[in-house]
Amino acid sequence: MSDNSILFHNVDLGKLQLKNRVVMAPMTRNLSPNNIPGEKSIEYYRQHAAGGTGLIITEGTCVNHIAANGYPDVPYFHGEERLAGWKKIADTVHAEGGKIAPQLWHCGGARKAGTMPEGDVPGFTPSGMFVAGKVNRYEMTQDDINDVVQAFANGAKDAKALGFDAIEIHGAHGYLIDQFLWEGNNQRDDAYGGSIEKRGRFAVEIIEACRAAVGEDFPILFRYSQWKQQDFTARLAQTPAELEQILTQLSNAGVDVFHCSQRRFWEPEFESSDLNFAGWTKKLTGKPAITVGSVSLNADFIPLPGESTFREAEPASLDELVRRITADEFDLVAVGRAMIANPNWANLVEQDRFDDLQPFRKEDLAAIV
């Protein structure tokens, strides 16, 4: 058995100090009727903070734009009652000794017209597509782009005012920001499409607007991924050089920490080295990086063919994770399904209570608190 103590060292990321390296991965839980995070959400996040998690990244929470949402009962990050709910969550997590960042989200083309409460509003996209090549969504105008940029900035400002410790911008998994980054969804011929640089412009504007809204000292995390929910094999960057081009502009725009979403953290990102996605990101930007993907579990989270829910998995060894952290490949590790099954995952691992770790089961998604 490996020594896991490195996971539980204090970490100083410059603008963000954490009691350990354990992050709760952002996970949509559909717990918020009327899009208000209420008592269930408060208790849910309280349990995760009490369980020893160093940094909680909340489920995706919609910025104040008419087409930001695509799912039932997800929390919004605007409006008095909703923000009051979020303030209670931040206060509760702090009372348990944890830290917390909201994941600011616009789901873009993942929205289907008819999703309530916005009804007929279509999915907003760079080029009318959600699935590459299939035009069946709304193509955003410059005014729409400006509105969404402003909505993210407002969310960032509110997060800071409510007492959150950081924000995470959701730039991953084929949602709106990623749709701009990815040529499979972005066929624009204006300033937001074409070259890697132009495809990154929307993300850059959002990051810069958030930075302007929160000031220099407030941490901004940016989550991104090669894979898309529309296409698990898709890639933003085929080579380290392409990845560097994408990352340099995001980093210069004001990202403090990159959250590098991978399905299996142990997989090398490019053939030329053993480094994973977070490892390459840290190497290319010099910024701290969070890894994620089947940590402490023996199967990744994408459903098996024919299934509609996240894949079940059994507890697995942490040896490879510890080896990579010890080599300083990345700084933090986000845990998803294993933390749904074990809200006290950090405490159990810190105490070497591996036999007490529960497997992840479908039922865990229904049984919240």
Ligand X SMILES: Cc1cc2nc3c(=O)[nH]c(=O)nc-3n(C[C@H](O)[C@H](O)[C@H](O)COP(=O)(O)O)c2cc1C
Read off the tokens for 168.
Answer: 């995470």
Least distance CB 338 / ligand X (angstroms): 6
Nearest distance from C-beta of residue 311 to ligand X, angstroms: 9
- Give me the least distance between CB of 107 and ligand X, in Å please: 9
Cβ proximity to ligand X, 59 vs 158, nearer residue:
59
| Residue 7 identity | L
175 tagged catalytic: yes
Q: CB-wise, 193 or 210, nearer to ligand X?
A: 210
Q: Pairing state of beta strands 220-225 and 257-261?
A: parallel
- Cβ 50 vs Cβ 99: under 8 Å: no
The rounded distance, in Å, linking the Cα atoms of 184 and 369 is 39
The footprint of ligand X (CB under 6 A) covers 25-28, 59-60, 103, 170, 172-173, 223, 261, 292-295, 297, 300-301, 310, 335-338, 365
What torsion do the CA atoms of 275, 279, 280, 281 make, to the nearest 10 degrees? Answer: 170
- Contact criterion met (CB below 8 Å) for 23 and 315: no
When the beta carbons of 28 and 187 are compared against ligand X, the nearer one is 28
Given the residues 44, 45, 175, 192, select the one marked as catalytic. Answer: 175
Report in angstroms how near the CB of residue 119 gets to ligand X at its nearest.
22
| 303 prior amide bond cis, ω within 30 | no
Residue nearest to ligand X (CB): 336
Instruction: Give least dist CB 135 to ligand X, A.
Output: 26
Rounded CA-CA distance 131/112 in Å is 12
Q: How far is the CB of 308 from ligand X (least distance, A)?
A: 12
Nearer to ligand X, 128 or 280 (CB): 280
Q: Which is nearer to ligand X, 101 or 214 (CB)?
A: 101
Is the Cβ of residue 173 or residue 188 nearer to ligand X in the bound state? 173
Q: Which residues are catalytic?
A: 175
